[in-house]
Amino acid sequence: MTATAQGTGTGALAPARHGRAHDLLLGVVGVVGELMITAGVLLGGFIVWQLWWTDVEGDRAQAQAVERLGWEPAPVAAPASAPAAPTVAARETGEPPVPAEPEHATTFATMVVPRWAGEPERPISQGVDRETVLDPLGVGHYPGTAMPGAVGNFSVAAHRTTYGKPFNRVEELVAGDPVVVRTQDTWYVYRVTSTRVVDPSDVSVVAPDPVDPQAQPTQRTMTMTTCHPMFSARERYVVHLALDYWAPTSGPAPVELVGGA
């Protein structure tokens, strides 16, 4: 590694000293270069960790959170060619049951978005801080906003990239798409009413009535927030939904999940 620029010929003191200084310089440059390469490798490792490993860990932790609930797995839509139409839940449009707000970081519901075929059932847990909810548990419920089924705005947030990226495909959602939220006792079928991009400071999107933040809420709505554009914190992508109907989980699953509609 070190250069061997030996003084030749007359070389007594002066060339030798020159050689030592030269060696020292080369050595310093070499070490700095090696440190920079090392830093580059470590930064590359961070990218791998952030973009790949957090997904591996997040998906696993979220699957375990759903499993811990101990509920029947949500049915997966049968292929369109399925012979007989399966039994589906009867639409209930009266007053739905509303669960009480749970302790922080408690998983109390799951959600399935049929439009995102191939995505697993994701847990919904109380709280929206990254360390205890969004990073390990996926989808978080804004504390103080309505619970599923309630009049008001059931608001949730989740990562769009990394940590299992539950809302990765949020931009595929269009008005009318169903989102099926399940609690211990109830299926809630929400439908997308609108999507928009807002500033991170715009808390009105999670107000009880997101259309008129000052008003007393009259509708049973839901809101999903995630980052926008991807890999950026500049804006937020927001999806508003409204409750279509509900059904008890003791009966068959909603047609949005089992298919055959």
Q: Smallest gap, in angstroms, from Cβ of residue 259 to another protein?
A: 30
Upstream peptide bond of 97 is cis (omega within 30 degrees of 0): no
Q: Smallest gap, in angstroms, from Cβ of residue 203 to another protein?
A: 4
Q: Smallest gap, in angstroms, from Cβ of residue 204 to another protein?
A: 8
Compare residues 74 and 157 and give the one whose CB is closer to another protein: 157
Compare residues 69 and 198 and give the one whose CB is closer to another protein: 198
Extract the tokens encoding 62.
Answer: 């979220």
Task: List residues with catalytic annotation.
Answer: 159, 227
Question: 108: closest CA among 118, 119, 100?
Answer: 100
Compare residues 90 and 203 and give the one whose CB is closer to another protein: 203
Q: Smallest gap, in angstroms, from Cβ of residue 236 to another protein?
A: 5
Question: 215: closest CA among 154, 151, 149, 144?
Answer: 151
Binding site for another protein (CB under 8 A): 1-2, 30-31, 34-35, 42, 45-46, 49-50, 53-54, 128-131, 134, 140, 142, 157-163, 167, 198, 200-203, 205-206, 225-227, 231-233, 236, 238
Compare residues 132 and 249 and give the one whose CB is closer to another protein: 132
2 class by beta-carbon count within 10 Å (0-12 exposed, 13-18 middle, 19+ buried) = exposed
Extract the tokens encoding 75.
Answer: 């049915």
Measured in Å, how far apart are the chain's first and last C-alpha atoms? Answer: 72
Residue 110 parent element (H or E):
strand 107-112
CA–CA–CA angle 254, 259, 261 (5° rounding):
90
